[in-house]
Structure formats: structure tokens, C-alpha cells
Amino acid sequence: MSVTKPPSVARDSYRSSKWDELTEGRDFRPSDVPALTLLVQWYQVVDQCIEDMSVDGGIQVAFSNEMGDIKALPQISTMKQASAEIRALNKQLGINDQAAPAAPERKASVLQLVVDDRARKERGAM
């Protein structure tokens, strides 16, 4: 079931785009709208923190206060909180965007290795 994008989300291009991305191909109930709204908001918080920490193509993770102490940027703890909120909301909404597990390695038995080796040698002898 398609859910209606709230006006507060629709007015912001970032949140609107993220909403479309998250809802595409998924069925949500109208009761999921508040959680989806929070989810796109937390994604925007992370994006803003990343932007705030970016400096000349790199990343700044600390600053020096007036007393000369080196402190971690507050954006780091904000991103940690946002990441936890995103994971919780994804779980609540049934969104699983984890990468698919790699195909298991095929383990050959000794017998199969011998059979394959013999077949390869026979093909080479012909």
C-alpha cells in the first residue's frame, strides 16, 4: 500500500527524495508514516553532520577549544545517535537494506578433486 508523503517531507528536497527511495517497491501502512518521517529526518541529520565535518576534500574530527584542549566534534556523537535511530526505525519498519551474503564457497571433496584432475588430464591428452 502506498502511503502519502507528509507536507513537511514534501517541502524539503532531501527528505522528499529519501522518502521516495525508502518507499519505492515497499508496502507501508498509514500508521508507518510517523516512523518514516523520523527516518528521513535522521538520514538528513547524518548528511548534515558529514557536510559539517568536510573540510577541503577531507574530514575534520576534532577541534581545539579556547583553552587549547583537543575535543571531538559534536557531530560525531550526533551521527552515532542518528545511526542507532536509523537502525531501530529500519527494524521497526521491516526495512532490511543489508548486503546479500556472498555465495558460500564450494568445498570439494578429495574424491571430487581426483576425478576433476583425471578428467582434465584426459582432455589434455587428446
Check: pTM over 0.85? Answer yes or no. no
pLDDT in 10s for each residue of the chain, 126 residues? 679 999 999 999 999 999 999 999 999 999 999 999 999 999 999 999 999 999 888 888 998 888 988 999 999 999 999 999 999 999 999 998 666 666 666 666 777 778 888 888 888 776
Domain boundaries, the chain: 7-97
Measured between alpha carbons, how far is residue 108 from residues 103, 112, 117 in Å?
15, 6, 12
